[in-house]
C-alpha cells in the first residue's frame, strides 16, 4: 500500500527543495503519494491566514508530513506557522541528529550529536504582552508533564539508537522555578535508565564546551528556546544549516523538516543545498518503516557529498539544487 504523506513546500527555497525531494523519492521506487498543502507567507496574502485549517487536517489524517521552511515576519505580523503547527498537532519532540559528513568543509571532524528540544512550552507559548508603552513581557511556562515526556523521549531515543549519554541543558541557577523544574524532572526520569549516563550543563557553559570539545556530548535534552539556539550552534559544528536535518514528533503525527529557514536571500536561484531536506526525508522514511529505502537515500546523499563533484556552492561546488538532487537520484 502506498504511504500518504502531506507535503508542505513552504516559502522561499521551500518549493525548490520539494522538487528535489520528489526527484529522489521517484528514483527509490517507494510508493509515497504526496498530498500538497500550501502554508506560509505567500498563502497568508491570498487567504488571510498562513496556516489554513486544511493543512492541519491533512497532517492529522496522514499522520506524517514533510515540510519546507516557512517565513515568519520579525517583530510583528502573523505568529510563526511552525510554532502553530507544532502546537496544533502537539508535536512535542524536536529531534535533530547532527553528524559531520565527509566532503563538508567544517572546523571539526567526527561530530555526532543529537539535539532533543521540547517543542511546545517555554517562551514559545506565545503569552506576550505590552505592560505599558515602554515595557513588554513574555511568560516562560514549563510543566512537569511537558518536561517528563520530553525527557522520556530523549532517553528512549538514546536507548533505541545505542547512544551512551543524555545531557540536560538549563539555566536553573537563575530560573530556579522553570528551569529548576525541567532539571529536577530530567534527573527523576534519568533514574529509570541506569544503562544511559546522565549529566547536566548550564546553557552558557554548554555553548562554550560544545565549541571546545563537541565529542564530550552525545544526546542533548533542552527546553524550547535553548534547543532552538543550540540546534544552530550544533549545525555550525558540522558545516552549517545546509546539512542539518530534523523532525517534530508527537503521539498523533510527525512533521519532518530541515533546521534551516526559508533562506530568502537565495530563493529561486537553484542554489539551495538540498542535503538537510533530503536527510529529513531519510528520517521520514525510517518513521514510515521504509528502513532499506531510508538507508539507500542516506548513503546516496553522503556519497554525492563526499565525491564533491555535483554539490552546491555552499559545499564548494557549482551544481544547481536540481542537478544535485538528480545526482542523488542516480545513486539510489
Helix, strand, coil abundance in the chain, percent, nearest 5 = 45, 20, 35
Full DSSP string of 44-72: HHHHS-SS-HHHHHHHHHHSEEEE-----
- Distance, in Å, from the CA atom of 197 to the CA atom of 178, rounded to the nearest integer, reads 24
Of 272, 305, 324, 329, the one binding ligand NAD (CB under 6 A) is 272
Dist CA 323 CA 299 (whole Å): 17
Q: Using CB under 6 A, which of the segments 123-131, 168-176, 195-203, 268-276 binds ligand NAD?
A: 268-276
Residue 17: CB minimum distance to ligand NAD, A:
8
Residue pair 66/278 in contact (Cβ under 8 Å)? The answer is no
| Min CB(9)–ligand NAD separation in Å | 11
Q: Applying CB under 6 A, does 283 fall inside the site for ligand NAD? A: no
124 is catalytic: yes
Please identify which of the residues 92, 171, 226, 314 carries the catalytic annotation.
Answer: 171
Q: How far is CA 7 from CA 66, 100, 105, in A?
A: 5, 28, 31
Scan for cell 520539494, then name that residue.
18
Q: Give, as one character, the DSSP assignment of residue 216.
A: G
| Helix residue ranges per DSSP H, 2-99 | 14-28, 41-47, 53-62, 81-88
CA dist., res. 78 & res. 151, Å (int) = 31
Instruction: Check residue 266 for interaction with ligand NAD (CB under 6 A).
Output: yes
Contact 168, 219 (CB under 8 A): no
Measured between alpha carbons, how far is 299 from 184 in angstroms, rounded to an integer? 40
- Whether 270 sits among the annotated catalytic residues: the reply is no
Task: Report if residue 45 touches ligand NAD, rule: CB under 6 A.
Answer: no
Identify the H or E element spanning 278: helix 275-287
Interface with ligand NAD, residue 276, by CB under 6 A: yes
Position 96 contacts ligand NAD (CB under 6 A) = no
Closest CA to 69 of 223, 321, 241, 326: 241
Which one among 89, 257, 319, 332 touches ligand NAD, defined by CB under 6 A?
Answer: 257
Least separation, in Å, of the C-beta of 41 and ligand NAD?
8
- Contacting residue, 273, 284, 297, 331, with ligand NAD by CB under 6 A: 273
Q: Which stretch binds ligand NAD (CB under 6 A): 96-104, 123-131, 190-198, 271-279?
A: 271-279
Give the one residue of 23, 62, 72, 231 binding ligand NAD; rule: CB under 6 A. 72
Among 6, 23, 28, 82, binds ligand NAD (CB under 6 A): 82
228 is an interface residue for ligand NAD by CB under 6 A:
no
Residue 62 vs 321, nearer CB to ligand NAD: 321
Decide whether 62 or 82 has the Cβ nearer to ligand NAD.
Answer: 82
Among the listed ranges 107-115, 185-193, 197-205, 256-264, the one in contact with ligand NAD (CB under 6 A) is 256-264
- Residue 227, SS3? helix
**3 state DSSP class of 297:** helix
Of the candidate residues 314, 320, 325, 331, the single one contacting ligand NAD (CB under 6 A): 314
Which set of grid coordinates corresponds to residue 89?
498537532
Distance CA 108, CA 215 (A): 10
Minimum Å gap between C-beta 157 and ligand NAD is: 20
Which stretch, 55-63, 69-77, 115-123, 161-169, contacts ligand NAD (CB under 6 A)?
A: 69-77
Kindly state the number of chain residues that form the binding site for ligand NAD, as judged by CB under 6 A. Answer: 19
CA 39 – CA 49 distance, rounded (Å): 8
Q: What are the residues binding ligand NAD (CB under 6 A)?
A: 69-72, 82, 241-242, 257, 260-266, 272-273, 276, 314
Would you please indicate which residues are annotated as catalytic (active-site) residues?
124, 171, 204, 228
Amino acid at each position: 500500500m502506498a504511504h500518504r504523506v502531506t507535503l508542505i513546500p513552504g516559502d522561499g527555497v521551500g518549493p525548490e527543495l520539494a522538487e528535489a525531494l520528489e526527484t529522489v523519492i521517484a528514483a527509490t521506487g517507494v510508493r509515497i503519494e504526496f498530498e500538497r498543502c500550501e502554508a506560509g507567507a505567500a498563502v497568508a496574502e491570498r487567504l488571510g491566514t498562513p496556516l489554513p485549517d486544511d493543512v492541519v487536517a491533512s497532517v492529522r489524517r496522514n499522520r506524517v508530513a514533510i515540510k519546507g521552511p516557512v517565513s515568519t515576519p520579525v517583530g510583528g505580523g502573523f505568529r510563526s506557522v511552525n510554532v502553530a503547527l507544532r502546537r496544533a498537532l502537539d508535536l512535542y519532540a524536536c529531534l535533530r541528529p547532527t553528524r559531520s559528513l565527509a566532503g563538508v568543509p567544517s572546523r571539526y571532524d567526527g561530530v555526532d550529536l543529537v539535539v532533543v528540544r521540547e517543542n511546545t512550552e517555554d517562551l514559545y507559548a506565545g503569552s506576550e504582552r505590552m505592560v505599558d508603552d515602554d515595557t513588554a513581557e513574555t511568560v516562560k511556562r514549563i510543566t512537569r508533564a511537558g518536561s517528563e515526556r520530553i525527557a522520556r523521549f530523549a532517553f528512549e531515543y538514546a536507548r533505541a539508537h545505542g547512544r551512551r549519554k543524555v545531557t540536560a541543558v538549563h539555566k536553573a541557577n537563575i530560573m530556579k522555578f522553570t528551569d529548576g523544574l525541567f532539571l529536577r524532572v530530567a534527573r527523576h526520569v534519568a533514574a529509570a535508565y541506569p544503562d544511559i549516563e546522565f549529566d547536566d550543563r548550564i546553557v552558557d557553559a554548554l555553548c562554550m564546551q560544545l565549541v571546545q570539545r563537541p565529542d564530550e556530548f552525545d544526546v542533548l535534552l533542552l527546553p524550547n528556546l535553548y534547543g532552538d539556539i543550540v540546534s544552530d550552534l550544533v549545525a555550525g559544528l558540522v558545516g552549517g544549516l545546509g546539512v542539518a536535518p530534523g523532525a517534530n514528533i508527537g503521539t498523533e503525527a510527525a512533521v519532518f523538516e530541515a533546521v534551516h529557514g526559508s533562506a530568502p536571500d537565495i530563493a529561486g536561484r537553484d542554489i539551495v543545498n538540498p542535503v538537510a531536506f533530503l536527510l529529513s526525508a531519510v528520517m521520514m522514511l525510517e518513521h514510515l518503516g521504509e528502513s532499506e529505502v531510508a538507508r539507500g537515500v542516506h548513503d546516496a546523499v553522503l556519497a554525492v557529498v563526499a565525491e564533491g563533484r555535483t554539490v552546491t556552492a555552499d559545499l564548494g561546488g557549482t551544481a544547481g539544487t536540481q542537478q544535485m538532487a538528480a545526482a542523488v537520484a542516480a545513486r539510489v
